[in-house]
């Protein structure tokens, strides 16, 4: 160091200028780097209608109910119906279920759906039209959903419904104590008000002819599955044997309730069997469900079974009905083998009953498509490709008539999916679904940071009233508890700006970009300790190996 | 995207209560200093602490909070130790505040001197902090520290407790827990690791001096830590805060587990969080979800031998310490959920 004049010398013992540690780029120590990611919340992943649930919960919890409703409507045109009749696989998947209880997504959806009906919210229809016409056959959830989405995409849609009223299984399958009819009417009307033409009592038998006559460019067939399965049981002529589909349909179309007598055997273990039993109870009968396997194998949803048993419905598990003589039914006890399959035991008993209702599943009336060239029908359901198109060009199909789980939510999802593919088909393009993010599974969360909040239970209609009337069983949430419920969401997989990464970094290597803009890593200084990733509550940071 | 002031940030998700750094359910003035864009970052980037250093984290938490509480009118006297070595390899420093380097054992005496000088100059707005590790506090600096307490000098002493001399190569201090492996308490023989029934609790010693404020805090609970530092700055006279800061190097824990290790220490009862005023215990942080001591131990190589069947007596001894803390400080909430 050159000699300096005394008056410019540094203070005693100081030989270097003071510097800041910012000159020291500790980022070079790193072998892994943290990266902000967005992961797919399990609720969104599980939703058959493809709703962005986390997004609308987020809007709902700040009181922006119309925004939340619009977010639902981007995927599902029937929130008030879904908020009642959906079996909410989202809640089964909800990570919060592993903490205390799942977020009551279904009840918040219903609250939003009801708000929309109360306040008359509508969806804007685009001003431009494509000039294309699409025929939808069947006004059930799948057909209505397709019609709605096709209208939003600018196409002209006509629905041909064979029956006297729109709604499909939402009317003829789901009893009104679960889904009041004014709700169905209001949500269907909202779709029709967008310009969808509905033709009632208009069965279609020859698709090519109707297409040519009406000038349709594509067809979506969604006629559902409404033929009841039956088994042959030796019975006397006087024995009354009904099927579930006809019974539930008669409840809807006829003023006179079906004649059931006092004691009713319901044969089957699915949701329809439970619906029939609960309907019979409300008509004053004493229903007994007979099912050949045990409760664990019942396809009916657990909560429906619970509600049915609460209402006093008797279930005989591990029984088959082998014969009937007027009002006396022969029942064989069953046992489960090692594979869980029911096997006869040779032990019999007798039950006296006034009638029996078979609820053994439904099949599709495929006659409408049978003569159409190229259409494949396999095991009584219609084959469709990944684009929901049948083997016949321009003819698409969805809902209960194609291989899938038969729920109205799946049907609504099919309607949306088909609409997107039909739209692409009409434009001579193909629709490609955007790639999904990695799933935000429970192990990706750090749940320490969420405090306890119990699920808000919907008020349950007094038991005595449930057994004798068709009033709706589940009540709705009010604004206060809907808000609370929405706020229980954990935001799995998507940053909610909790500031944890910004706080826990020992190297101050995270920049907070400000409200709504999330954060950024300072890779010059990040040593790659992964504290931010470990302490991120919602699993929105991933550690990625550095190339060395 | 338009600029939105921090006060108008959208509250997004989980508003029924959260323990995150930036709990937006709280009023602005109750939110943490660490959540603000305006925090001072008194201990800035580029320091040479190991990955996942608990002490670096605890020091920024504490000093940033003290800076806010004093309107940035703060001077620190720093004891020799990791904190000095990793922040200030001459001529660089990671401190962005006025500070003075001192010896291993005399930080509190230097701070007392600064406080006396400020008093002599009539500067009531400037406040003084002394900080050091557990070695410089519980062993080497004990005499000076006791003197500061005795004279009730206007100093907040913050001890970053990582339970050994880390900077010199992980030697035992009087804050090292029983059973722990250090370079001087190797896991050998019938009673491997540090001897039980040794060491001292400086928080309790500080309470015995009847000074205005004593507290323990942990890097896993930022809201509590900032609350205690802010509260301490509201008192005049001698104050003592001990912050539990896991050391990935000395403890043999994963760098990313630093906060988790601290959380398990508190949730298992191994490190009680307490507050005392004028020698009287005034508050304890209740355990939220009690975990077995073993959950805390198994994240750390320094206790690996304790988990072996032949050393079960050491595990039992550590569990007894947790039990004693829990009963002595009444750490369980009315309906604690046992793990």
DSSP track, A372-420? STT--EETTEE---TTSB-SSTTEEE-GGGSSS---HHHHHHHHHHHHH
pLDDT value at residue B89: 87
Which residues share a beta bridge with B235? none
Among residues A449, A437, A491, the alpha carbon closest in space to that of A35 is found at A437
pLDDT value at residue B44: 96
- The ipTM assigned to this model is 0.93
Q: How confident is the model at residue A100 (pLDDT cuts 50, 70, 90)?
A: confident
CA–CA separation, A15 and B57 (whole Å): 31
pLDDT value at residue B275: 97
Q: Chain B: give the shortest CA distance to residue A122, in Å.
A: 26
- Parallel, antiparallel, or unpaired: how do β-strands A156-160 and B127-133 relate? unpaired
pLDDT value at residue B336: 45
pLDDT value at residue B338: 46
CB B315 within 8 A of CB B194: no
CA–CA separation, B179 and B311 (whole Å): 10
pLDDT value at residue A235: 85
Q: What is the dihedral of CA B99, B103, B108, B110, to 10 degrees?
A: -60
Q: What is the dihedral of CA A175, A179, A182, A183, to 10 degrees?
A: -150
Is the pLDDT assigned to residue A456 strictly greater than 80?
A: no
B258 and A531 in contact by Cβ < 8 A? yes
CB A540 within 8 A of CB A495: yes
Residue A488 with chain B: CB contacts under 8 Å? 14, 16
pLDDT value at residue B339: 42
**pLDDT (tens digit per residue) in A220-277:** 999 999 898 888 888 888 888 999 999 998 888 888 888 888 999 999 999 999 999 9
Local structure of A223: helix, strand or coil = coil
By C-alpha distance, the chain B residue nearest A505 is B57
pLDDT value at residue A42: 98
Long-range contacts of B20-29 (CB under 8 A, 24+ apart): B20/A449, B20/A498, B20/A499, B20/A500, B20/A537, B21/A498, B21/A499, B21/A500, B21/A502, B21/A503, B21/A504, B21/B222, B22/A497, B22/A498, B22/A499, B22/A500, B22/A502, B22/A503, B23/A498, B23/B223
Largest CA distance in chain B: 66
Range scoring the smallest mean pLDDT among A54-63, A314-323, B23-32, B297-306: B23-32
pLDDT value at residue B13: 53
CB A507 within 8 A of CB A524: no
CA–CA separation, A84 and A403 (whole Å): 24
DSSP track, A512-523? E--TTS-EEE-T
Is the pLDDT assigned to residue A539 strictly greater than 50?
A: yes
Residues 6+ apart with CB under 8 A from A361: A228, A229, A268, A270, A272
Among residues A377, A399, A432, the alpha carbon closest in space to that of A146 is found at A399
Comparing CB atoms, the residue among A26, A484, A535 nearest residue B259 is A535
| pLDDT cut 90: percent of chain A above it | 72
- Cis before B91? omega within 30: yes
A491 and B13 in contact by Cβ < 8 A? yes
Spans of chain B below 50 pLDDT: 1, 15, 336-339
Structure tokens at A489: 């969401």
Q: Chain B: give the shortest CA distance to residue A512, in Å.
A: 6
The secondary structure element, H or E, covering residue B6 is: none
CA–CA separation, B25 and B229 (whole Å): 22
Among residues B69, B68, B88, the alpha carbon closest in space to that of B78 is found at B88
| Whole-prediction pTM | 0.87
B53 and A537 in contact by Cβ < 8 A? no
Averaged confidence pLDDT in chain A: 91
CA–CA separation, B109 and B79 (whole Å): 10
Q: How confident is the model at residue A4 (pLDDT cuts 50, 70, 90)?
A: low
Q: How confident is the model at residue A340 (pLDDT cuts 50, 70, 90)?
A: confident
CB B76 within 8 A of CB B129: yes
Among residues A319, A327, A314, the alpha carbon closest in space to that of A353 is found at A327
Among residues B19, B42, B31, the alpha carbon closest in space to that of B6 is found at B31
A16 and B91 in contact by Cβ < 8 A? yes
Ramachandran sector of residue B133 (left: φ over 0; alpha: ψ -120 to 50; beta: rest):
beta
Main-chain phi, psi angles of A134, to 5 degrees:
-125, 135
By C-alpha distance, the chain A residue nearest B245 is A506
More confident residue, A62 or A360: A360
CA–CA separation, A386 and A432 (whole Å): 10
- The b/e string for A230-249 (b: 16+ C-beta within 10 A; e otherwise) is eeebebeeebbebbbbebbb
Highest mean pLDDT among A242-256, A393-407, A472-486: A393-407
Ramachandran sector of residue B280 (left: φ over 0; alpha: ψ -120 to 50; beta: rest):
beta
Residue A20 with chain B: CB contacts under 8 Å? 44, 46, 92-94, 96
A19 and B35 in contact by Cβ < 8 A? no
CA–CA separation, A47 and A340 (whole Å): 29
**pLDDT (tens digit per residue) in A404-443:** 889 999 999 999 999 999 999 999 999 999 899 999 999 9
Cβ-Cβ pairs closer than 8 A, A with B, add up to 182
């Amino acid at each position: 160091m050159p000699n300096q004049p005394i008056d410019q010398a540094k203070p005693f013992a100081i030989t270097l200028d003071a510097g800041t540690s910012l000159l020291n780029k500790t980022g070079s120590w790193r072998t892994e780097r943290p990266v902000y990611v967005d992961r797919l919340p399990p609720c969104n992943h599980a939703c058959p209608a493809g709703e962005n649930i986390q997004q609308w919960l987020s809007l709902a919890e700040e009181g922006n109910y119309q925004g939340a409703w619009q977010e639902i409507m981007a995927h599902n045109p029937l929130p008030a119906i879904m908020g009642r009749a959906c079996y909410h696989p989202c809640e089964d998947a909800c990570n919060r279920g592993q903490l205390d209880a799942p977020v009551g997504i279904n009840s918040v959806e219903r609250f939003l759906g009801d708000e929309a009906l109360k306040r008359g919210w509508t969806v804007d229809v685009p001003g431009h039209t494509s000039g294309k016409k699409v025929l939808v056959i069947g006004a059930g959830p799948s057909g209505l959903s397709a019609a709605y989405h096709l209208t939003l995409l600018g196409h002209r849609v006509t629905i041909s419904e064979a029956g006297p009223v729109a709604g499909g299984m939402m009317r003829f399958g789901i009893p009104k104590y679960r889904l009041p009819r004014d709700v169905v009417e209001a949500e269907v009307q909202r779709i029709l008000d967008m310009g969808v033409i509905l033709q009632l009592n208009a069965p279609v038998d020859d698709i090519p002819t109707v297409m040519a006559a009406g000038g349709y460019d594509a067809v979506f067939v969604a006629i559902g599955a409404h033929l009841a399965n039956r088994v042959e049981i030796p019975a006397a002529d006087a024995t009354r044997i009904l099927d579930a589909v006809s019974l539930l349909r008669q409840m809807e179309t006829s003023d006179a309730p079906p004649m059931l007598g006092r004691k009713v055997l319901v044969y089957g273990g699915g949701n329809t069997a439970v619906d029939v039993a609960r309907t019979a109870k409300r008509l004053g009968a004493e229903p007994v469900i007979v099912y050949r396997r045990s409760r664990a194998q019942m396809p009916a949803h657990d909560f429906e079974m619970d509600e049915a048993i609460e209402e006093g419905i008797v279930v005989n598990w591990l029984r088959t009905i082998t014969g009937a003589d007027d009002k006396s039914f022969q029942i064989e006890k069953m046992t489960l083998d090692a594979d869980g399959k029911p096997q006869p035991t040779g032990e019999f008993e007798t039950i006296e009953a006034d009638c029996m209702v078979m609820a053994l599943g439904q099949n599709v009336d495929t006659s409408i498509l049978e003569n159409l060239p190229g259409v494949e029908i396999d095991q009584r359901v219609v084959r469709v490709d990944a684009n929901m198109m049948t083997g016949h060009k321009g003819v698409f199909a969805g809902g209960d008539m194609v291989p899938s789980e038969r729920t109205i939510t799946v049907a609504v999802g099919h309607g949306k999916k088909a609409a997107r593919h039909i739209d692409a088909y009409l434009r001579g393009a193909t629709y490609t679904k955007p790639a999904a993010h990695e799933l935000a599974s429970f192990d990706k969360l750090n749940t320490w940071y969420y405090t306890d909040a119990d699920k808000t239970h919907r008020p349950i209609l007094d038991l005595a009233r449930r057994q004798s009337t068709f009033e709706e069983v589940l009540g709705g949430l009010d604004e206060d508890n809907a808000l609370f419920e929405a706020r229980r969401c954990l935001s799995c997989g998507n940053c909610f700006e909790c500031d944890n990464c910004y706080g826990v970094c020992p190297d101050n290597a995270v920049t907070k970009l400000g409200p709504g803009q999330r954060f950024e890593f300072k890779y010059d200084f990040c040593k790659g300790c992964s504290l931010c990733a470990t302490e991120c509550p919602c699993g929105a940071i991933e550690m990625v190996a550095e190339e060395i | 995207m338009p600029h939105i002031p921090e006060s108008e940030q959208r509250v997004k998700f989980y508003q029924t209560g959260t323990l995150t750094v930036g709990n937006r359910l709280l009023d602005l003035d109750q939110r943490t200093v660490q959540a603000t864009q305006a925090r001072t970052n008194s201990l800035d980037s580029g320091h040479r602490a190991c990955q996942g250093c608990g002490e670096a984290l605890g020091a920024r938490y504490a000093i940033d909070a003290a800076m806010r509480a004093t309107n940035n009118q703060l001077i620190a006297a720093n004891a020799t130790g990791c904190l000095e070595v990793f922040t200030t390899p001459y001529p660089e420093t990671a401190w962005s505040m006025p500070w003075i380097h001192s010896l291993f054992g005399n930080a509190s005496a230097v701070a007392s001197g600064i406080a006396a000088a400020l008093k002599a100059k009539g500067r009531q707005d400037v406040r003084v902090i002394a900080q050091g590790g557990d070695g410089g506090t519980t062993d080497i600096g004990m005499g000076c520290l006791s003197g500061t307490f005795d004279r009730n000098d206007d100093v907040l002493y913050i001890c970053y407790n990582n339970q050994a001399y880390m900077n010199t190569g992980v030697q035992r201090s009087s804050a090292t827990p029983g059973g722990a492996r250090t370079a001087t308490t190797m896991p050998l023989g019938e009673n491997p690791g540090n001897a039980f029934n040794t060491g001292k609790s400086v928080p309790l010693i500080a309470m015995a001096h009847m000074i205005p404020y004593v507290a323990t805090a942990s890097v896993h609970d930022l809201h509590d830590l900032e609350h205690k530092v802010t509260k301490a700055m509201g008192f005049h006279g001698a104050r003592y805060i001990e912050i539990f800061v896991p050391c990935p190097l000395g403890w043999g824990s994963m760098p990313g587990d630093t906060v988790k290790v601290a959380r398990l220490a508190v949730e298992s009862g191994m490190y009680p969080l307490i507050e005392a005023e004028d020698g009287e215990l005034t508050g304890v942080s209740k355990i939220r979800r009690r975990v077995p001591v073993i959950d805390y131990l198994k994240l750390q190589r320094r206790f690996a031998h304790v988990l072996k069947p032949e050393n079960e007596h050491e595990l039992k001894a550590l569990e007894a310490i947790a039990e004693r803390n829990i009963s002595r400080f009444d750490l369980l909430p009315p309906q604690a959920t046992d793990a």
